[in-house]
């Protein structure tokens, strides 16, 4: 540390002492000149000019002090960075010494400085894990936070790859909180103007791959509460998986989720805008689904969730219509295909898939009035979201 104040005081003390000695010499000289002027004329020395020089010198001392203080501030900032790097280096060397990292296998950008990323098993619920994921991702530059109309979005920087309908697809993974629950959706890159909303969890865990900078073992797939092939590594209780579909099957939740997704899509198209009217969101909805407005958009989200619940409506209407469109398959294959299609709401502009035709014939007609009715009067016996705030303060 630099003791700037002591340096300044010592310099001023020495300078003032020299200046005072010189002033005395000049005064003595002027006294001699005045005595000599009785016999002949001598011009007196200009003490005012000397005092002006003295003032300028003190001002320069002050300027030097300010520059030293600025240097000290910048130096402390750089010192702090160096200390942080030193701590990270110490941790890395500890890992090497403990044989947790093989130096010869290191590749740039793959060494995880800092604490290891936690696994899903260390958390009681998926929601707690998601909360940890967004906090970690933002802090480590793996996701950026976007706020539109007060809605917080966590947009992951790496392209997300997963398997859907036996085909690998990809897009931008986004997480946001809706009515106390963190939900996921994917803005697709492999298809123009398409967005997917899953009602389950992906496995192998895509966030582990994101944190470790490597590939996961196996293709990432979506698993839901009706899945019959859940892998052993996916330790999520079935009731928690079912709660994800139940959440979106509630009209209020699916509508609020649809509005949140539409606001993100609208902002993504017009980054300079941070607020959107319902009319503007209606126009956005037509570009991201086969519907006419935001109610149809949210209605398709709810339609998929309804198909994943044990309701009379889906048993009598949705399943038979879907099976008609899947000739040649066994009943078990048709059942599995049905639930797989229902587990993720895939919406895109101009969609004409048979599943979506089934949706429109069952839920699409009158969806606007149905939503108004439910939103105005509420629903009884529907699942209510637990209140939670993301991220933790």
Structure confidence at residue 324 (pLDDT): 46
Give a yes or no: residue 393 inside a domain: no
Single out the residue in 63, 96, 129 at which a domain terminates.
96
Better pLDDT: 194 or 61: 194
Q: Name the band, by pLDDT with cuts 50, 70 and 90, for residue 186.
A: very high
The model's pTM is 0.64
Residues 137 and 224 in one domain: yes
Is 218 part of any domain?
Answer: yes
Output the furthest CA–CA distance in the chain (Å, rounded). Answer: 135
For residues 189 and 258, state if they share a domain.
yes
Residue 57 included in any domain: yes
pLDDT in tens, 96-129: 555 444 444 444 444 444 467 888 889 999 999 9
Task: Give strand pairing partners of 176.
Answer: 153, 183
Work out the pLDDT band at 151, boundaries 50, 70, 90.
very high
Mean pLDDT of 186-193: 90
β-sheet bridge partners, residue 156:
143
Q: Kindly tell me if the per-residue pLDDT of 361 is higher than 70.
A: no
Q: Do the domain assignments include residue 311? A: yes
Looking at residue 133, what is its pLDDT? 94
Q: Name the residue range of residue 59's domain.
A: 4-96
Domain assignment present for residue 107? The answer is no
My answer on whether 133 and 32 are in the same domain is: no
Q: How many CB atoms lie within 10 A of CB 30?
A: 15
Choice between 358 and 24, residue whose per-residue pLDDT is larger: 24
27 and 159 together in one domain: no
What's the first-to-final CA gap in the chain, in angstroms? 35
Residue 206 lies in a domain: yes
Q: Per the domain annotation, does 31 fall within a domain? A: yes
Number of separate domains in the chain: 2
Angle at 189 between CA 188 and CA 193, to 5 degrees: 60
d(CA 327, CA 322): 10
pLDDT of residue 257: 96
**pLDDT of 180 strictly over 80:** yes
Q: Are residues 63 and 198 in the same domain?
A: no
Answer yes or no: do 78 and 153 share one domain. no
pLDDT value of position 8:
59
For residue 382, being part of any structural domain is answered with no
Is residue 138 located within the same domain as residue 268?
A: yes
Is residue 325 a contact partner of residue 358, using CB atoms and an 8 Å limit? yes
pLDDT tens, position by position, 295-314: 888 888 888 888 888 665 55
The region that residue 123 occupies, defined by phi over 0 for left and psi between -120 and 50 for alpha, beta otherwise, is beta
Among the residue ranges 18-22, 117-121, 183-187, the one predicted with the least confidence is 18-22
88 & 190 share domain: no
Please indicate, yes or no, whether residues 317 and 184 belong to a single structural domain of this protein: yes
Find where tokens 């979201």 sit. Answer: 385
pLDDT of residue 247 exceeding 80, the answer is yes
């Amino acid at each position: 540390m630099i003791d700037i104040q002591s340096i300044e005081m010592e310099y001023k003390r020495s300078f003032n002492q020299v200046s005072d000695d010189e002033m005395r010499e000049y005064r003595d000289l002027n006294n001699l000149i005045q005595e000599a002027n009785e016999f002949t004329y001598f011009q007196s020395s200009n003490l005012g000019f000397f005092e002006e020089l003295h003032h300028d010198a003190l001002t320069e001392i002050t300027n030097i002090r300010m520059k030293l203080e600025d240097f000290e501030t910048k130096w402390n900032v750089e010192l702090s960075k160096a200390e942080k790097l030193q701590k990270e280096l110490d941790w890395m060397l500890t890992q090497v010494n403990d044989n947790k990292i093989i130096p010869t296998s290191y590749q740039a950008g793959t060494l995880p400085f800092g604490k290891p990323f936690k696994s899903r098993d260390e958390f009681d619920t998926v929601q707690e894990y998601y909360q940890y994921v967004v906090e970690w991702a933002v802090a480590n530059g793996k996701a950026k936070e976007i706020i539109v109309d007060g809605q917080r979005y966590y947009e992951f920087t790496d392209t997300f790859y997963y398997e859907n309908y036996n085909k690998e697809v990809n897009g931008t993974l986004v997480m946001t909180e809706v009515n106390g629950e963190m939900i996921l959706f994917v803005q697709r890159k492999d298809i123009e103007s398409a967005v997917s909303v899953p009602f389950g969890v992906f496995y192998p865990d895509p966030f582990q791959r994101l944190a470790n900078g490597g590939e996961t073992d196996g293709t990432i797939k979506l698993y839901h509460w009706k899945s019959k092939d859940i892998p052993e590594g996916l330790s999520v209780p079935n009731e928690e998986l079912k709660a994800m579909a139940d959440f979106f099957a509630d009209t209020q939740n699916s509508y609020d989720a649809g509005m949140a997704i539409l606001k993100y899509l609208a902002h993504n198209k017009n980054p300079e805008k941070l607020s959107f009217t319902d009319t503007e969101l209606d126009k956005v909805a037509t570009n991201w689904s086969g519907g006419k407005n935001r109610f149809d958009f949210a209605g398709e989200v709810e339609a998929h969730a309804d198909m994943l619940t044990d309701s009379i409506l889906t048993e009598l209407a949705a399943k038979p219509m879907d099976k008609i469109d899947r000739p040649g398959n066994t009943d078990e294959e048709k059942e599995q295909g049905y639930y797989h299609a229902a587990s993720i709401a895939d919406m895109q502009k101009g969609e004409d898939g048979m599943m979506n035709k089934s949706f429109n014939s069952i839920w699409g007609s009158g969806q606007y009035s149905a939503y108004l009715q439910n939103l105005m009067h509420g629903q009884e016996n529907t699942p209510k979201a637990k209140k939670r705030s993301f991220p933790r303060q």
